[in-house]
Structure 1
Amino acid sequence: MYRDLVEKENYDEAFPMWEKLMENSPAGHVYHYIDGVTMYKAFIERDADDEEKVAEYKTTIVDLFEQRITCTNAERKDKGIVLETMAYTLSEIGYEDIDKTLATYEAAIKENGNKTSPYILAYFADHAIFMYGNNLMPKDKVREIYMTLEAIKDANTDNKAYADNWKYVEDYYGPYVDGILIVGSL
């Protein structure tokens, strides 16, 4: 019943039912986690003027993802997808712990290797360049990320989505490319 309300974006009515489900059967279905994240993202938008609430919502989103990760299964091979979604979501909501966001992107790529989803290349590059541009990441690290993303793209030449997302990587790295990719540069 609550799922119908979530699908209709009637989050205020769905939320109390969802809370009861999470209290009594959090791992009952993967949708409990997905729907929770969906609702909290909507609440972030709705309550954007209330910094305290927004911070609480963001923390809850992280908690939901971390709980969901504990429910992943090696046979289903779903941990990497959850990590990718978490990394993207942390970027999307502007999660303040940028090191955690970075670690989540790295964990997703470690888990998925060359099967990392194409869109992650662009979002990971954006995050890395944001950190580098704000002196929060050393040059060798941002170079390493570039090389890792390039290797993933090169391993997937038969899939146009990787080439399409690579254009974004090049755009993000473009202003810094000479200083990052030329070994021995300052």
Structure 2
Amino acid sequence: MKFRSYIRLFAGVLLVTVSTSAIAQSYLENPKYGPDEETRKECAKNLSLYGTFYKHNNYKDAYKPWQNVIRICPAASINTYIRGVRLLKARYEEVADPAQKKALVDSLMMIYDLRITHFNKKGMVLGQKAEDLFTLAPDRYEEAFNIAKEAISIEKANSNPSTLFAYVSIAKVMYDNQKLTADQVIELYSQVSDYIDAQATANPNDDKAKQAKDGIDAIFAGMGVANCDNIIALFEPRFKATPEDVNLCKKIRSLMSANRCTSHPLYLNASIQIFKSEPNADLALDIARLQYEAKNAREAEKYYNEAINLESAVEKRANIYYELALLTFTELKNLPKAREIALKAIEENPNMGKAYKLIGDIYASERNCGSNDFEKKTVYWAAVDKYIKAKQVDPELTDAMDNLINTYSQYYPSKEDIFFYDLKVGDSYTVGCWINERTTVRDRK
């Protein structure tokens, strides 16, 4: 054992001697390695010695000369701090005594502070410091929280995804221990989610950002703080004060959507403000649907048309036309216009069975098409024609259309009525008024 120690020491001294002599001049002339020549020589020796051990993963023997570097020439190299974190963590894992572990955590915190002093990058380094403190000394969560908060206040959207994740993780512990209120947690999540969303959007292939985002959302959802009442109480006064703040509106929309608060007027109003600044088809469609649900038919019509004008995808346009036709039929009660819009949906997508079904419903609802009872009943021929067409283009509608056909065929004119009007089953017939559809005479069974 003594022989092995001797050989190891000899090898180390030899390496130091060779390395030091090779680079002595550059060290001796640079004040970052110490205030005087003697200190710089000592610094060079310890840098070389700990560096050699470190490269061979011999952290135990690297530890003492690394400490000497920190003590006599702390500005010598940023690697002293990067490697020092690993050395301290390795030593932390090796010891069992709680007092020793605590001292090593304190040393690690000091190393981060020294790195900031000599090499800056304060925000990024504070983020790492907070992560390590929370991991190694979770009972110091409040201290870790404040460090992470400062780090993120500096780095903002450039914060490391792991720091953002750690911040929310610590916030959960803070909330569980009544150090944060529900409103504070919502505010914190709103800020962090903006930052991580921006990173995930800017770098869609960045797995770290995506994983952090998923983790942050999961932690927040599990905390149960974001109920609708809390969100509205926190953000409605802010919205009223600055409704033109698009970023605020986006926060409101994101939080309310995630927590199923979309029926509240605040969600709709925030969405409208975003649309004013950043119009797009999807948002216009969402607003149209919200207005429809709120029974604001004219406003819904307006935003459906906005969505149609902004949408370039054919199938999406067809669906928007269909929804607008449905609104025009059910809320605006304009049957001719509803049919006109439904036909535009079919132009975009000829296989849209539900649009044919809607036209059938429109016809079947018409009660004033004709000057007598016979003519009024002929609208059911036209309606059934559309139901037949609907199941032809979309077989999945077959059962539903068959039910409607059976229902409305009971309202056909009787055979006697047909004979009275000098017609017979199978004849061609044009349904009158605005419908003006060519159809086939059928009798009630």
TM-score, length-scaled by structure 1:
0.86
Please list the CA deviations of residues 106-140 of structure 1 after superposition, one character each: whole Å capped at 9, or x if unmatched.
Answer: 11111111111222222211111122123332222
Alignment equivalent of 2:202, drawn from 128, 153, 158: 158
The equivalent position to 1:112 in structure 2, one of 138, 151, 155, is 155
Match of 1:41 in 2: 89
Cα 1:85–1:181, aligned 2, differ >3 Å: closer, same or farther? farther
Paired residue type of 1:35: R
Q: 2:119 corresponds to which residue?
A: 72
- The range that moved more, 4-13 or 34-43, is 4-13
Structure of higher RCO (CA pairs closer than 8 Å, 6+ residues apart): 1
Amino acid at match of 2:137: G
Question: Where does residue 372 of structure 2 map in the other structure?
Answer: none
Q: Does 1:170 align with 2:217?
A: yes
1:83, 1:105 within 8 Å by CA — same for their partners in 2?
Answer: yes
SS of the counterpart of 2:230?
coil
Q: Which residue of 2 aligns with 1:128?
A: 171
CA distance in 2, matches of 1:68, 1:23: 13
Output the CA distance in 2 between the equivalents of 1:9 and 1:91. Answer: 26
Letter in 1 for 2:139: E
Q: Is 1:140 equivalent to 2:140 in the alignment?
A: no
Deviating beyond 3 angstroms after TM superposition, the runs of 4 or more aligned structure 1 residues are: 180-185
CA separation in 1, counterparts of 2:102 and 2:157? 34
Paired AA for residue 184 in structure 1:
N
SS in structure 1 of the partner of residue 74 of structure 2: coil
Q: In structure 2, do the counterparts of structure 1 residues 153 and 181 end up closer, same or farther at CA, with 3 Å as the change threshold?
A: farther
Cα shift at 1:4: 3.1
Identical counterparts, % of pairs: 23
Q: Find the residue that maps to 1:99 and give its secondary structure.
A: helix
Larger-Rg structure: 2
TM-score normalised to the size of structure 2?
Answer: 0.38
Is the partner of 1:184 in helix, strand or coil?
helix
Within 1, Cα distance between the matches of 2:228 and 2:55?
49
RMSD: 1.9
Closer/same/farther in 2, CA of residues 9 and 139 from structure 1, 3 Å limit: farther
Number of positions where the alignment pairs a residue of Structure 1 with one of Structure 2: 179
Unaligned runs of at least 5 residues, structure 1: none
1:48-87 matches, within 5 Å, as 49-73=96-120, 78-87=121-130
SS, match of residue 168 in structure 2: helix
Letter in 2 for 1:88: E
Structure 2: distance between partners of 1:119 and 1:37: 17
Residue in 1 that maps onto 2:389: none
Structure 2 distance, partners of 1:154, 1:23, is: 42
